Amino acid sequence: MWVRPRRSIRWISAPAWKRPWSNACSRKGTMCAKAHCCSNSSANRSKRRSRRRKRRWPKRTRWSPAPSGTTRAYTLAGQGNLSQQALDRALSDQLQAEATLRKNEAELRQAQIDLGYTRITAPFDGRIGRSTYSPGQWVGPDSGVLATLVKLDPIYVVFNVSERSCLTYRQRVEQAMREGQPKPEYIPRLKLSNGTDYEHTGRLTFVDNQVDPGTGTIAVRAEFPNPEKLLVPGLFVTVLLEPTESKSALLIPQAAVQEDQGGHFVLVVGADKTVEIRHIETGARIGVQWEVISGLNEGEQVIYEGIQKARPGAVVAPVARPSPRPPADRRPCSALSSSIARSSPS
């Protein structure tokens, strides 16, 4: 959230200047900025007059001129002891006093409104950044941003999913609905830029309704708890989407997968020791392996070392090696690089 002034005011204090970095977190309702209002001196005078009136008549909720003079004038005029001109003058004085009162009350309300613009409070818990103005400088609606307040808990991660992955997921959802099975769900996890795993899991909150024609991807947003304030806006992370239910999957080493205009393919060693190209449909990534949805059968041999020497149709002498095993505590997941978007109340 950007903190901006809405009136021409004089900046006199900024708590973010006086706080150390470790205590720069603002809670909801905390004052982010305070200023003197110098735009309406008559309103300030009206407010001081109102305070004096309240001290003078503490039991009256609204001050009004004492009508004793007008009442006495009406009494004397009824007895024939006061001229019509004097009566009109007394009535005019009363109306003028009431008009002055209404004017002062309007100035008081305007002064209270102007005073409210001199205090900017945080609408949510977060962290305030560096102030762009120094104490004593003039600021107004055209001065720009005074400071930036970001919401850290929860924090949102925006990433992109390929249109192929999105179509595959939608087809799986439709198939599950036709078969009366529960809809497949995914739990987002994070891997930080230093290679460590973020301990909290998130939840998907938004999927865009259109594909970006420039990248062929769809924007997705996930929400993550951030109680330790470890994640900050602009941080680069890797998003891992893990299915909620475990399943058996055909896995091959990631080094064996190549890509051309037709999609992903692998080099398969046939029964006669000849090399052939086999296009496959890949799914989730599990550690250093890929899930194969279609195109391969269990037990077939694929080449993942010495690929540059193997040619389709060539006869090779394969050496069987065990493929790397995925971590036992990790389910199939899709890896997507992303950066944390700037937080905003939404």
Assign 195 a pLDDT band (cuts: 50, 70, 90). Answer: confident
3-state secondary structure of 213: coil
7-11, 286-290, 295-299, 338-342: which is most confident = 295-299
30-34, 240-244, 326-330: which is most confident = 240-244
Q: Where are the domains of the chain?
A: 2-150, 155-246+334-340, 250-309
pLDDT at 38 over 80: no
pLDDT at 205 over 50: yes
- The residue among 246 and 158 whose pLDDT is bigger is 158
CATH architecture of 155-246+334-340: Beta Barrel (2.40)
Nearest to 334 by CA among 275, 296, 284, 262: 284
Assign 221 a pLDDT band (cuts: 50, 70, 90). Answer: very high
Which helix (H) or strand (E) element contains residue 50?
Answer: helix 41-56
41-45, 48-52, 118-122: which is most confident = 118-122
Nearest to 63 by CA among 100, 31, 107: 100
Instruction: Please compute the mean of the pLDDT values over residues 246-273 and round it to a whole number.
Output: 83
Contact 252, 285 (CB under 8 A): no
Assign 56 a pLDDT band (cuts: 50, 70, 90). Answer: very low
Domain 250-309 of CATH type 2.40.420.20: yes
pLDDT digits (tens, 9 = 90+) for 144-174: 777 788 888 889 999 988 888 888 888 888 8
Q: What pLDDT was estimated at residue 325?
A: 58
Contact 338, 159 (CB under 8 A): yes
The overall pTM is greater than 0.85: no
Contact 342, 1 (CB under 8 A): no
Assign 20 a pLDDT band (cuts: 50, 70, 90). Answer: very low
Alpha-carbon gap, residue 200 to 240, rounded angstroms: 12
Other beta carbons less than 10 A from residue 249's beta carbon? 16
Q: Percent of the chain at pLDDT above 70? A: 68
Instruction: Please compute the mean of the pLDDT values over residues 291-302 and round it to a whole number.
Output: 85
Assign 246 a pLDDT band (cuts: 50, 70, 90). Answer: low
Assign 247 a pLDDT band (cuts: 50, 70, 90). Answer: low
Assign 273 a pLDDT band (cuts: 50, 70, 90). Answer: confident
- How many angstroms separate the Cα of 313 from the Cα of each of 36, 128, 267, 277, 306? 84, 64, 10, 9, 15
Q: Sign of dihedral through CA atoms 64, 69, 75, 78?
A: negative
3-state secondary structure of 77: helix
Assign 288 a pLDDT band (cuts: 50, 70, 90). Answer: confident
Question: Strand pairing of 236-243 and 334-340?
Answer: antiparallel
2-16, 26-40, 47-61, 281-295: which is most confident = 281-295
pLDDT at 16 over 50: no
Which range among 71-85, 92-106, 135-149, 181-195 shows the weakest confidence by mean pLDDT? 71-85
pLDDT at 120 over 70: yes
Instruction: Please compute the mean of the pLDDT values over residues 242-265 and round it to a whole number.
Output: 80
Q: Percent of the chain at pLDDT above 90? A: 4
pLDDT at 122 over 70: yes
Instruction: Please compute the mean of the pLDDT values over residues 225-238 and round it to a whole number.
Output: 89
Instruction: Please compute the mean of the pLDDT values over residues 292-303 and round it to a whole number.
Output: 85
Alpha-carbon gap, residue 308 to 277, rounded angstroms: 13
Assign 13 a pLDDT band (cuts: 50, 70, 90). Answer: very low
Query: Helices 84-116 and 68-78 meet at what angle, rounded to 10?
Result: 160
